[in-house]
Chain A
């Protein structure tokens, strides 16, 4: 089955800095890569996603890049704000459409 590795497990930045979270996947048939944000005690919520026919996608301060050859994808958050502090999960959905998550990155943005 699919295996998703996520790094780093924790990331501390100053407000206004950029943050980058990286994920790798194992199943070359995977074609859908969402990113979820989970605040403490709440449900995961989708913040951005990308499909395998696209190399990059942006939504305001958030961008995701995908390298199919290397089987890795990354989340980029620019101009970080304290409200960006949360746990971020990458996921990959493969040929059988099962959605597999990484272990998560705790992002801490200090004012």
Chain B
């Protein structure tokens, strides 16, 4: 089966600019996660969707980050405006349901200069 697809793979932007990431989960997976992984740290959950509803967005900086999962399939994560500390790899993952194996995409490496 096809894996989790993410784009772009790399992005360099200046601070205060905006950026968007796209994720296409594995077909049939109801749960979709967005994680932020700063170099040398574990993945930090930003937002979790169950179909098109939000399960947890408690760690999403809502003044600058937004995410949506229209129609319960693809998802986009947006940052506006970006800060230097947003430099990280943004990982999308999906699973059949919650409490099941999460499959990760290749990630998008964001550098804010």
Contact = CB atoms under 8 A, between A and B. Distances in A.
B14 interface: no
Given A1-B56, A44-B91, A46-B102, 19 more contacts: A32-B99, A32-B100, A43-B107, A44-B104, A45-B104, A49-B101, A89-B42, A97-B48, A97-B50, A98-B48, A98-B98, A99-B93, A100-B45, A101-B45, A103-B41, A103-B42, A104-B40, A104-B41, A104-B42
Interface of A: 1, 6, 31-32, 34, 43-46, 49, 89, 93, 96-104
Contact of A43 (B41, B98, B101, B105): B105
Interface string B79-112: 0000000000001010001111111111100000
B99 A93 contact: yes
A55 B98 CA distance: 21
Interface residues of B, number: 27
Interface string B26-37: 000001010100
A27 to B, nearest CB: 12
A67 B18 CA distance: 45
B101 A34 contact: yes
Contacts of A1: 56, 58
Nearest to A30: B99
Contacts of A101: 35, 42-45
A98 B56 contact: yes
B12 interface: no
Contacts of B93: 99
Nearest to A93: B99
A59 B31 CA distance: 26
Contacts of B55: 96-98
